């Protein structure tokens, strides 16, 4: 009779128990690795590297939007990374970064379906931003009637300029930037500045030692809700952020104070001057594509064939989306030194060569960036074709 060794059964049991323990440990390790991988996934933020008070690549002064992003990343349990891209490219910035999947979120977009919707979806509002009146402390600036008889610095082609355009009792001092408006105020060339509020507050705090009072305004085109933008496929992340934002209200309020953003009850203004029919940019009526095509056909002297309406229209769209920030919508500009309607008057037969060199290489000393890495030569050709249609004779 064959005897069964009781030790063999114990050995088998020990082996099975060991295998089970190994499997359990492996499962725990795999689970921990997965959790660690999820935690390590960064929250990627789109931001402008040189746009204080909103954003900066300087870690010691990152900006209002960047610090909100950092607070969100912490609440999400994720590290934060940045995709730096200049915001003066306008909607192109959003297309390249956010919609190009280079980042997950862009803070500070206007919460409006008209802004690149439905490609961009938005969080709930985290702040209200808009234009503000800046004046010496103690001066009454409670509404538009308080501007009567005063010199008011307004930025070219802005809502405040349109709002005051029909007011003969207000002397407009046209400037090209909030910085220039604050300088005009500080140098006594203006009594009030009517400019973008967050920048006014930042400059007042950092450059003018809180010398001025700032009153927010509200009204059509004067203020809007600031939100966080996401690509349309990011509803899950958007919803998570929306759940976190209410818990960050006090943090956001503290950051607004830190970066000088104005607060308080806003001054209510009426509607800005109505935009005429046919207007393409809000600065005045612009010619149709067919009209400019007819004009350019008579102006081009050396080309074998005139650009078609599609080329001119494409150039006009690029110009108004990027170049109008400095050179005026539809190239309408009162500052002669940057009035591109005088290119032919200035350069004659060298007009095209001068244009080509300038847009490719820029003029950094004069604030003109190089665009050769942004647009193609075909796009430059379309911009040039559009500019041919707006050339005028000098009044000298």
pLDDT bracket for residue 270 (50, 70, 90): low
Which burial class, exposed, middle or buried, applies to 338 when counting CB atoms under 10 A from its CB (0-12, 13-18, 19+)?
middle
Q: What dihedral angle (degrees, nearest 10) is formed by the CA atoms of 380, 381, 387, 388?
A: 160
CB proximity list for 309: less than 8 A, separation 6 or greater: 289, 290, 292, 293
pLDDT at 147: 92
pLDDT of residue 322: 80
The Cα 330–Cα 284 span in angstroms is: 9
- Confidence at residue 286, expressed as pLDDT on a 0 to 100 scale: 34
CATH code at 131-221: 3.40.190.10
pLDDT band with cut points at 50, 70 and 90 for residue 25? low
pLDDT score recorded for residue 299:
36
Tens of pLDDT, residues 328-351: 878 887 677 888 999 998 999 899
Indicate whether 70 pLDDT > 70: yes
Quote the pLDDT of residue 19: 52
Alpha carbon distances (Å) from 272 to 165, 221, 269 = 9, 7, 8
Position 117 scores a pLDDT of 80
- The pLDDT assigned to 28 comes to 53
Structure tokens that stand for 186 in this block: 């500080």
Instruction: Give pLDDT tens digits for 180-217.
Output: 999 999 999 999 999 999 999 999 999 999 999 999 99
User: φ and ψ at 112, to 5 degrees?
Assistant: -150, 135
| Among 195, 73, 192, 67, CA closest to 140 | 192
> What's the CA gap between 297 and 293, in Å, rounded?
6
272: pLDDT strictly greater than 50:
no
Q: Is the pLDDT of residue 284 over 50?
A: no
**Distance between CA 308 and CA 313 in Å, rounded?**
9
Q: State the pLDDT confidence band at 144, using cuts at 50, 70 and 90.
A: confident
Q: Which CATH class is domain 289-388?
A: mainly alpha
Q: What is the mean pLDDT of residues 359-368?
A: 84
pLDDT > 90: percent of the chain: 52
**Nearest of 166, 165, 125, 167 to residue 146 by alpha carbon:** 167
What token pair was written down for 104? 């997950």
Confidence of residue 20 (pLDDT cuts 50, 70, 90): low
In this prediction, residue 392 carries a pLDDT of 84
**Residue in the structure block whose two tokens are 């707006």:** 390
**Mean pLDDT (whole number) for 350-360:** 93
pLDDT above 60 (res 16): no
The CATH code that applies to domain 43-127+224-258 is: 3.40.190.10
Whether the CA torsion 139, 145, 147, 149 is positive or negative: it is negative
Q: Among candidates 257, 223, 194, which has minimal Cα distance to 111?
A: 223
| Average pLDDT value for residue range 151-174 | 87
Average pLDDT of the residues in 9-20: 52
**83-110 tens-digit pLDDT:** 999 887 678 889 999 999 999 999 999 9
On the question of pLDDT at 130 being above 90, the answer is yes
Distance CA 335, CA 203 (A): 24
| pLDDT tens, position by position, 146-157 | 899 999 999 887
pLDDT at 12: 54
- If one counts every other C-beta atom within 10 angstroms of the C-beta of residue 64, the result is 27
Share above pLDDT 70 across residues of the chain, in percent, rounded to a whole number: 79
pLDDT at 327 over 80: yes
The larger pLDDT score, comparing residue 371 to residue 62, is at 62
- Please state the rounded mean pLDDT for residues 362-375: 84
Confidence check: pLDDT of 54 > 90: yes
* Minimum mean pLDDT range among 60-74, 172-186, 299-313: 299-313
* Residue pLDDT, tens place only, 294-305: 333 333 333 434
How crowded is residue 323: how many other Cβ atoms within 10 Å of its Cβ? Answer: 21
| pTM strictly above 0.75 | no
Mode of pairing for the β-strands spanning 55-56 and 50-51: antiparallel
For position 393, what pLDDT does the model report? 77
Write a three-state SS string for the chain: CCCCCHHHHHHHHHHHHHHHHHHHHHHHHHHHHHHHHHHHCCEEEEECCEECCCEECCCCCCCHHHHHHHHHHHHHCCCEEEEECCHHHCHHHHHHCCCCCCCCEEEEEECCCCCCCCCEEECCCCEEEEEEEEEECCCCCCCHHHHCCCEEEEECCCHHHHHHCCCCCCEEEEECCHHHHHHHHHCCCCCEEEEEHHHHHHHHHHCCCCCEEEEEEECCCCEEEEEEEEECCCHHHHHHHHHHHHHHHHHHHHHHHHCCCCCCCCEECCCCCCCCCCECCCCCECCCHHHHHHHHHHHCCCCCCCCCHHHHHHHHHHHHHHHHHHHCHHHCCCCHHHCHHHHHHHHHHHHHHHHHHHHHHCEHHHCECCCCCCCCHHHHHHHHHHHHCCCCCCCC
């Amino acid at each position: 009779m064959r005897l069964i060794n009781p030790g063999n059964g114990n050995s088998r049991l020990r082996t099975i128990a060991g295998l089970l323990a190994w499997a359990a440990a492996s499962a725990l390790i795999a689970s921990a690795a997965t959790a660690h991988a999820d935690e390590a996934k960064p929250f990627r933020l789109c931001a402008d590297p040189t746009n204080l008070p909103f954003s900066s690549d300087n870690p010691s002064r990152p900006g209002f939007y960047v610090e909100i992003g950092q607070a969100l990343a912490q609440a999400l349990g994720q590290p934060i990374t940045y995709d730096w891209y200049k915001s003066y490219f306008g909607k192109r910035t959003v297309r390249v970064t956010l919609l190009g999947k280079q980042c997950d979120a862009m803070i500070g977009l206007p919460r409006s379906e008209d802004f690149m919707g439905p490609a961009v979806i938005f969080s709930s509002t985290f702040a209200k931003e808009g234009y503000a009146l800046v004046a010496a402390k103690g001066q009454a600036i409670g509404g538009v009637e308080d501007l009567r008889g005063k010199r008011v610095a307004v930025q070219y082609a802005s809502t405040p300029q349109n709002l005051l355009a029909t007011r003969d009792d207000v002397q407009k001092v046209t400037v090209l930037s909030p910085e220039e408006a604050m300088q005009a105020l500080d140098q006594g060339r203006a009594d009030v500045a009517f400019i973008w509020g967050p920048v006014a507050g930042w400059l007042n705090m950092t450059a003018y030692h809180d010398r001025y009072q700032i009153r927010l305004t509200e009204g059509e085109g004067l203020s809007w809700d600031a939100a966080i933008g996401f690509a349309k496929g990011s509803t899950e992340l958007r919803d998570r952020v929306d759940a976190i934002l209410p818990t960050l209200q006090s943090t956001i309020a503290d950051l607004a104070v830190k970066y000088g953003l104005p607060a308080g009850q806003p001054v209510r203004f009426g509607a800005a001057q109505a935009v005429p029919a046919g207007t393409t940019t809000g600065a005045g009526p612009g010619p149709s594509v067919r009209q400019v095509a007819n004009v350019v056909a008579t102006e081009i002297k050396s080309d074998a064939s005139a650009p078609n309406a599609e080329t001119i229209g494409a150039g006009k769209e690029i110009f108004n989306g990027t170049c109008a920030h400095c050179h005026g919508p539809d190239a309408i500009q009162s500052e002669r030194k940057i009035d591109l309607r005088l290119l032919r008057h200035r350069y004659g037969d060298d007009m095209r060569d001068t244009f080509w060199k300038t847009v490719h290489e820029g003029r950094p000393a004069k604030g003109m960036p190089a665009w050769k890495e942004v647009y193609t030569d075909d796009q430059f050709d379309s911009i040039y074709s559009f500019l041919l249609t707006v050339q005028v004779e000098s009044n000298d």
